[in-house]
Amino acid sequence: MYVTRRQRYRLKSDYKNIAYLCEPLFQALLEPFSIFFHHMNKSLILSLTCCLASTFCEAQQNKNPQQNFNLQSAPKREVRAVWITTLSNMDWPKTYANSPEGIQRQKAELIGILDQLSAANINTVLLQTRVRAATIYPSDIEPWDRCITGREGQAPADDYDPLRFAIDECHKRGMELHAWIATIPVGAWNSLGCRSLVAKGFRIRRYSTGAYMDPGEEQMAEYIASICAEIVRKYDVDGINLDYIRYPDGWPQPNYKNNDTPAKRRADITRIVTAIHREVKALKPWVKMSCSPIGKYSDLSRYSSRGYNARDRVFQEAQQWLKDGLMDQLYPMQYFRGDNYYPFCADWMENSDNKDVATGLGTYFLDPREGNWTAEELQRQMYVSRQLGMGHAHFRGKFLLDNRQGIYDFERIFNTSQAILPAMTWVKNIPQPSVPRPAARSLISIDEIGRTSLSWQSNAPYFNIYMSSTSPVDISDARNLVMARFTGTSFILAPSTAERHFAVTAMDVYGNESAPLQSSEPAKIKNRFMPNNGKLLIIPNRLQPMDIDYYIVETTVGRFVRRIRTPKHKPNELNVSSLKNGAYVLRAHSSKRDVSHRLSFFIIKRR
């Protein structure tokens, strides 16, 4: 791209004039960096903007928004999350577990959701577990939520535990499950959960948006902490995500009487967080503590929060919680656009204390009944937040999986490979996991039908599996990651004629990864398959004298595909042109002996 002298003058005068050269999309892409620009000298600004202008204007020539900015591979470590709302059955479940059939339907729903998320390389599910003073698991403290059976306080049939099932299914797919806890809101005033709290002596405040516990009540902190402890003690959850850990909207502002001050209110909320942290970490120190604060922490030097922020309006000191070690992650609810989004992303990252921050995306605004956002706006936020080192979390699951404005399709393209969750490197004195050992002489072996098997030995809870056409396998390249957070010690891949190299690393519960166990030789199938050109299969000469009446083609798992009569004129050539691409087993049948034998295997691979 050629930049004229006049254009250079415009660039020097103000970075926002880049809009004269590019479409408004590029201007929005620059917005998150504006808070840094006044610290730069003019020559650096000019160099940066000219470089970005050239790159993004060229990308804009391609009008497919899913290809515009796919300029680099996805990072190896990144939080990719989705909130799954159970309140009022918004995301899941849509059916009730009042019978064995209902339980199976409810399970099938969740399996379908998780399969879709796994296909998009999502690695974290934030599942609403404490809904409104009621739960989706058998609690000794609070009643069942109505979302499971349709009735408050009613347990599902057959001792079915939805939370345990969800955890198991997430872990099968290499995903983490974090229990999403609604802390302060308790639902409708006449709900069973709210009435139970009143009976226990808690002060409940009513507003137009519902009923709420009083954050200033001393006993509340230990009560919420006991619920979180119950979940961590009973279940293999990977995190506790605190939602609405703040003073409610509509609560009167501090009146500075009887110690009702902003500092006191911030101390109230921090007291609750501290109690929960203490209980959770005493049980399982690797369980991640996180919360979902308001998307703007406080006013910035050049950007106002417009009177609504975490620290000063609802008294969440989320950034300080990171610094004090009370939080391992943050999921700020950044359901905003433009100057209300990008500068605050930078602020969250500047004050992350090197811990995880995943931007909460307002995916629901893609639905015209919820807002007027375009897919391009949300995609832009995802690209910029990734560039800043943030993960991302969609609110909510339904709007992502319904593919509003193609957002699910974009998510699959955006996450070009799997990603491992960032390690909890701030937890000190944790030994590095040991390198796995091969279970036999070599990490890899090839079975009789050409499948590659990896087998190793290790006491680690998780493993990451890598594959590449080159050796040694570069485990820093996310594109080589085949399976993340795998829980077994053997792994089987389908037959392939390509030369493949493998590596396996061990990973502890904190996400720390060992050095790799590399395969000593490539997994390459040699002379194991019968030759063919996609149309004709060549029968070895040693088989032709046999009294074979016909051949049977099966899949590698023994399923019948078709029968082929022995050709009279060319008995060494079988017509396989009707077979689809794939791996097959060939069997020969002799009517004279009334027996059939497995002969060999072949692969159909047409271009």
HEC readout, 5-35: HHHHHHHHHCHHHHHHCCCHHHHHHHHHHHH
Q: Which amino acid belongs to residue 416? A: T
Structural fold of domain 80-414: TIM Barrel (3.20.20)
The helix/strand/coil state of 209 is: coil
The separation between CA 275 and the C-alpha centre of its own chain, rounded to angstroms, equals 28
What whole-number distance in Å separates Cα of residue 70 and Cα of residue 53? 16
Task: Determine phi and psi for 95, rounding to 5 degrees.
Answer: -125, 160
Pairing of strands 356-361, 595-604: unpaired
Peptide bond into 396 cis (omega under 30): yes
Contacts of residue 267, Cβ cutoff 8 Å, sequence gap at least 6: none
My answer on whether omega of the bond before 156 falls inside 30° of 0, hence cis, is: no
Angle between helices 5-13 and 42-60 (to 10 degrees): 110
What whole-number distance in Å separates Cα of residue 472 and Cα of residue 518? 7
pLDDT in tens, 262-289: 999 999 999 999 999 999 999 999 999 9
What is the per-residue pLDDT for 333?
Answer: 98
Q: Is the pTM of this model over 0.85?
A: no
In this prediction, residue 571 carries a pLDDT of 78
**What is the structure's pLDDT at 435?**
98
- Can you tell me the distance from the alpha carbon of 250 to that of 272, in angstroms, rounded to the nearest whole number? 20
459 and 113 in contact (C-beta within 8 Å)?
A: no
Position 449 scores a pLDDT of: 61
Asked if 224 and 271 count as a contact pair (C-beta separation under 8 A), the reply is no
Confidence of residue 461 (pLDDT cuts 50, 70, 90): very high
pLDDT in tens, 180-215: 999 999 999 999 999 999 999 999 999 988 999 999
CA 252 – CA 198 distance, rounded (Å):
21
Q: Please report, rounded to a whole number, the percentage of residues in the chain having pLDDT higher than 70.
A: 85
Most confident of 62-71, 470-479, 527-536: 470-479
465 contacts 486 by C-beta, under 8 angstroms? yes
DSSP-assigned letter for residue 543: G
Bond prior to 254 in cis (omega within 30° of 0):
no
Number of H helices, E strands in the chain: 16, 25
What whole-number distance in Å separates Cα of residue 12 and Cα of residue 6? Answer: 10
- The CATH architecture assigned to 437-518 reads Sandwich (2.60)
CA distance 205 to 187: 11
The C-alpha R_g of the chain, in whole angstroms, comes to: 29
DSSP for residue 201: T
What is the rounded distance in angstroms from the CA atom of residue 45 to the CA atom of residue 52? Answer: 11
User: What amino acid is encoded at 6 in this protein?
Assistant: R
Tell me the residue length of the chain.
Answer: 607
Q: How far apart are CA 478 and CA 130, in angstroms?
A: 35
Average pLDDT score, the chain: 87
Q: Mean pLDDT, to the nearest integer, of 458-473?
A: 96
Where on the phi/psi map is residue 181: left (φ > 0), alpha (ψ -120 to 50), or beta?
beta
Per CATH, 80-414 and 437-518 having the same topology is answered no
Residue 76: closest CA among 355, 407, 416, 350: 416
pLDDT score for 38: 41
Phi first, then psi, for residue 400 (nearest 5°) are -70, -50
Cα distance between residue 551 and residue 597, in whole Å: 10
Of residues 284 and 55, the one with the higher pLDDT is 284
Three-class secondary structure of residue 194 per DSSP: helix
User: Which tens digits make up the pLDDT trace of 368-400?
Assistant: 999 999 999 999 999 999 999 999 999 999 999
DSSP assigned state of 159:
G
Q: Could you tell me the residue ranges of all domains in the chain?
A: 80-414, 437-518, 536-604
Give residue-wise pLDDT tens across range 305-335.
Answer: 999 999 999 999 999 999 999 999 999 999 9
pLDDT on residue 73: 73
In angstroms, the CA 338 to CA 141 distance is: 43
* Strands ordered across the beta sheet of 462-468: 481-486, 462-468, 501-507, 517-518
Of 167-181, 263-277, 440-454, minimum mean pLDDT range: 440-454
Q: Tens digits of per-residue pLDDT, 96-137?
A: 999 999 999 999 999 999 999 999 999 999 999 999 999 999
